[in-house]
Structure 1
Amino acid sequence: ENTNEGTPESTEEESSVSDLTLEEVFEKAIERQNEITSLSAEVKMDQTIKSGGVETAGNSDMVMDMTIDPMTMYAKGASMTVDPATGEDIKLGYEMYMVEDGFYMYDDMSQAWMLMPIDNYEDMLGQAANQADASQQLEMLQSFVEDFTFEQNDTQFILSLDASGEKFTDFIYDQIASTGV
């Protein structure tokens, strides 16, 4: 005998998807920047570079974990580009750790970890700290907010940027110029 007659059972789970807009996510990310103690990132990038009438395509995939205090970082990834002279794929893999006593990089050729020279280590720590403080970067990217696509699931906000066109090229040139390169 069915004793649950007349009491419908819910077969749908409640979703925890937020009503926040892309603009609100940007604002909240900037506001909460000072609370970050660690972060993880997954970066997938496809790019086409045109120079002197030659077009070169490439892509990069990277995963990164970082803590703020003490400043530590682990990154692993690969970049692929095409040699314009031969048309052959060139794949460059990398794996690196940055900890208080130095910067370690795995060398595929020797299949060994190398401790990188200490002379640039302080600069690298400073750059890593600046990258970890994403509030400035988020504020700069806010001018591209209309170029982002915005998705979310139960645990993540997923922002994707189609960084093509002259507006973004000018932004990249400005960023490169600000680094002194």
Structure 2
Amino acid sequence: MKKWTSIIGAGALAFALSACGQTATPKEDTNTDPGKEEKVVVKSDLTVQEVMEKANAASETQQSMHADMVMDQNIEMGEDIQEVHSTIDMDMIVKPLAMRQTINMQMGDEEMAVEMFMTEDGFFMKDPESGDWMQLPNDMYEEVAGQMAGSMNTQVDFSIYEEFADDFTFEQTNDEYILHLKGSGDKFSELMKDMMEQNMPAGMEEEQLDLISQMKIESIDVEFTIDKKTFFTNHFDMDMVMTMEEEGQQVKISQKIKGDISKINEIDEIKVPKEVIDNAVDMNEAMQQQQ
């Protein structure tokens, strides 16, 4: 069932929101301290659609970012249950693509940490078992860079979200817009499948695409917060339950993802440490030696 971790994890982050008509309700102040004054909401009359259009335009100016994410997955197939807990710490520059990423993953009693650097100096990954650094082929950098550049330039088609206008709650604080969507049913399943298929890496196996096409969204609860001044997304929180059939058995995936995005356009350079470059083993050469 390990393939579900990569398939569902990648697709969940592709989900985007939009709707029409309603303006944001001032978020109710939960401050109960009588010694503190209540915050006065600086009200905006923008609609959800207008906020998302501005957020989409702002994303085109996003050149770098830092992200911290926590992902919990529970995958059930018959009596077999797999629980996966992952944390992701990532810095990224869009052009030219550069990335530093650390993923810590726990599956049952197994723990694994994966570190990687991807810059024009090369694509380096730390072997989680040996602790040795490997340099991956240059064409892998070019392939990943091409895939990510293509997905980042994809524009949101707001027309496909019009049917969700009545499903949204839309609030605002002094500093942020809060978009919240909760629902279930076939229309959410079709939307999620479309999003996953559009944002999956190129070269996916036909079997994996078939599995996505069978997916049914049992429930989804997702919230985004968008900065009022910059229209950059600061935080997202998604809970989702999906089911599908595989080999005559029902597979149920429960997934929770939380992400904080910061340092937008503040990261100017990502460098691969000298000791990594000096000590990295060429992956192709290492594989040839093992044969």
TM-score bracket for this pair, using the shorter chain length? 0.5 to 0.7
CA drift of 1:107 comes to 2.2
1:56 aligns with 2:82: yes
CA distance in 1, matches of 2:168, 2:85: 20
CA drift of 1:116 comes to 1.1
Q: Which of these residues, 102, 105, 121, is aligned with residue 141 of structure 2?
A: 121
CA drift of 1:79 comes to 1.4
**Residues 33, 133 of structure 1: 8 Å contact kept:** no
**Residues 43, 172 of structure 2: 8 Å contact kept:** no
Aligned residues: 163
Structure with greater Cα Rg: 1
CA distance in 2, matches of 1:153, 1:39: 23
TM-score (norm 2): 0.42
CA drift of 1:73 comes to 0.9
Deviations 1:49-102 (A, max 9, x none): 2234523221211021111222111111211122xxxxxx21111111110132
TM-score (norm 1): 0.62
Task: Name the SS of the counterpart of 2:124 in structure 1.
Answer: strand
Task: Name the SS of the counterpart of 2:129 in structure 1.
Answer: coil
1:97 aligns with 2:113: no
**Residues 90, 100 of structure 2: 8 Å contact kept:** yes
Task: Name the SS of the counterpart of 1:35 in structure 2.
Answer: coil
CA distance in 1, matches of 2:38, 2:161: 34
Whichever residue aligns with residue 103 of structure 2, its letter is G
CA distance in 2, matches of 1:60, 1:149: 30
Structure 1 gap segments, 5+ residues each: 1-10, 83-88
Closer, same or farther: CA 31–176 of 1 in aligned 2, 3 Å: closer
Task: Name the SS of the counterpart of 1:58 in structure 2.
Answer: strand
CA distance in 1, matches of 2:185, 2:58: 31
CA distance in 2, matches of 1:55, 1:70: 41
CA drift of 1:161 comes to 8.1
Closer, same or farther: CA 32–48 of 1 in aligned 2, 3 Å: same
Whichever residue aligns with residue 45 of structure 1, its letter is M
Closer, same or farther: CA 90–101 of 1 in aligned 2, 3 Å: same
Closer, same or farther: CA 74–148 of 1 in aligned 2, 3 Å: farther
Closer, same or farther: CA 168–112 of 1 in aligned 2, 3 Å: farther
Summarize the alignment of residues 148-159 of structure 1 with structure 2, pairs less than 5 Å apart: none
Q: Which of these residues, 44, 52, 77, is aligned with residue 26 of structure 1?
A: 52
Could you say which residue in structure 2 is the equivalent of 1:67?
Answer: 93
**Residues 33, 134 of structure 1: 8 Å contact kept:** no
CA RMSD of aligned residues (A): 4.0
CA distance in 1, matches of 2:67, 2:131: 26
CA distance in 2, matches of 1:128, 1:46: 24
Structure 2 gap segments, 5+ residues each: 1-35, 206-291
CA drift of 1:121 comes to 2.5
CA drift of 1:172 comes to 5.8
